[in-house]
Amino acid sequence: MSINIKRRLLLGAVMAGLLAGLGIMGIRAAMPGPVPVTYNFDHDKVGRTPVDFTSSVTGDGPPGKWVVQEMADAPSGNHVAVQVDADTTDYRFPVLIANKGEYGDVDVSVKGKSISGKIDQGIGLVFRFRDHKSYYVVRANALEDNFRLYKMVNGKRIQFAGANVKVATNQWHTLRVVAIGDHIVCYFDGKPLIDAHEKTYTKGKVGLWTKADSVIAFDDLTVSTPNNE
């Protein structure tokens, strides 16, 4: 076999390998990531606790009362989940946790609206929930005009990051968390206001949170893995 023929055969084999590799990469690139899960409560019955969720409380006082209500200005559909129990116990944190899914790296968001509260008006988004005493929560407060990131450790609330921002009552706001490893970035109405590192909890469930006498409406709790990968 001549040298030229050998070179041509070798070149052909190399090109075939490259094309095969590109084909595989093309298939992988085209494969869709996990579809985000959104809870919009539109199929839940009015007056009932949302299905696929569990209510609990951190701290003192009674658990919250979470019910589905019709709301004309709901961000999607006309159903929202509302924590309606205005018990005035100060160190009381009602939570409503989605039963399905545990997430390590997570991209989770929710739309929340503060309706009332004399002691507090806290709109909270829970992530990496282990139990009612162990989780992270980012919350926006319409009485204090701030946005803070906490961890609950054995039921004790510990702030480790925060920012000041205008939080209007009776107006929908969007809270979002992107947590990858120990890196946590929190967004308020699309703006990244908190960038922190914390490694107490590595995975857990997601959910909703309020404080004390806060009456808060929630809609469109959406969870996926970062970059939908």
Q: Give me the pLDDT at residue 226, please.
A: 87
Q: Give me the pLDDT at residue 22, please.
A: 35
Q: Give me the pLDDT at residue 89, please.
A: 97
Phi/psi of residue 144, nearest 5 degrees: -105, -10
Report, as ranges of residue numbers, the positions in the chain whose pLDDT lies below 70: 1-35, 227-229
Pairing of strands 205-209, 215-224: unpaired
Q: What is the largest CA-CA distance in the chain?
A: 92
Q: Give me the pLDDT at residue 219, please.
A: 99
Structure confidence by residue, pLDDT tens digits, 37-48? 999 999 999 999
CA 96 – CA 83 distance, rounded (Å):
9
Q: Give me the pLDDT at residue 35, please.
A: 67
Q: What class is the 37-228 domain?
A: mainly beta
In the chain, where are the structural domains located?
A: 1-31, 37-228
The pTM for the full model equals 0.84
Q: Give me the pLDDT at residue 73, please.
A: 97
Q: Give me the pLDDT at residue 222, please.
A: 98
Of 201, 202, 205, which Cα lies nearest the Cα of 99?
205
| AA identity, residue 206 | V
Per-position DSSP letters for the chain, written without gaps between them: --HHHHHHHHHHHHHHHHHHHHHHHHHHHHS--PPPEEE--TTSPTTSPPTTEEEEEEESSPPP-EEEEE-TT-SSSSEEEEE------SSEEEEEEESS--BSSEEEEEEEEEEE-SS--EEEEEEEEEETTEEEEEEEETTTTEEEEEEEETTEEEEEEEEE----TTS-EEEEEEEETTEEEEEETTEEEEEEE--S---BEEEEE--TT-EEEEEEEEEE-GGG-
